């Protein structure tokens, strides 16, 4: 099995647990990491989808550090796509 696929499955399970227990910071982090995995796989559409969800949570709950990291990743993808 592909290493990235295993990591993706782990983060999706973590996301499920974070949602279940209401851990919003963990949820935002898991969504962001899932987005980064999709970016690594070259799937910009899914990367943007998950990163935007992560950003929405980070903004809502004022997770400033996560918000900055997610914005940086979104900018990287947008810049790469515009080249």
The CATH number of whichever domain residue 40 belongs to comes to 1.25.40.10
pTM listed for this prediction: 0.94
The structural domain count of the chain equals 1
Q: Could you give the angle at the alpha carbon of 67 between the alpha carbons of 52 and 36, nearest 5°?
A: 55
Instruction: Quickly state the pLDDT bin for 83 (edges 50, 70, 90).
Output: confident
pLDDT in the model for residue 8:
98
Q: Which helix (H) or strand (E) holds 3?
A: helix 3-21
pLDDT in the model for residue 68:
98
The model's pLDDT over 9-66, given as tens digits with 9 standing for 90+, comes to 999 999 999 999 999 999 999 999 999 999 999 999 999 999 999 999 999 999 999 9
pLDDT in the model for residue 71:
98
What is the extent of the structural domain holding 59?
3-81
């Amino acid at each position: 099995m592909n290493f990235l696929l295993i990591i993706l499955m782990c983060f999706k399970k973590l996301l499920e647990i974070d949602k279940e227990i209401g851990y919003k910071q963990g949820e935002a982090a898991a969504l962001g990491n899932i987005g980064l995995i999709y970016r690594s796989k070259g799937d910009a559409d899914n990367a943007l989808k998950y990163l935007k969800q992560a950003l929405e949570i980070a903004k809502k709950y004022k997770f400033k550090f996560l918000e900055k990291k997610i914005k940086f990743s979104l900018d990287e993808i947008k810049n790469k796509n515009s080249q």
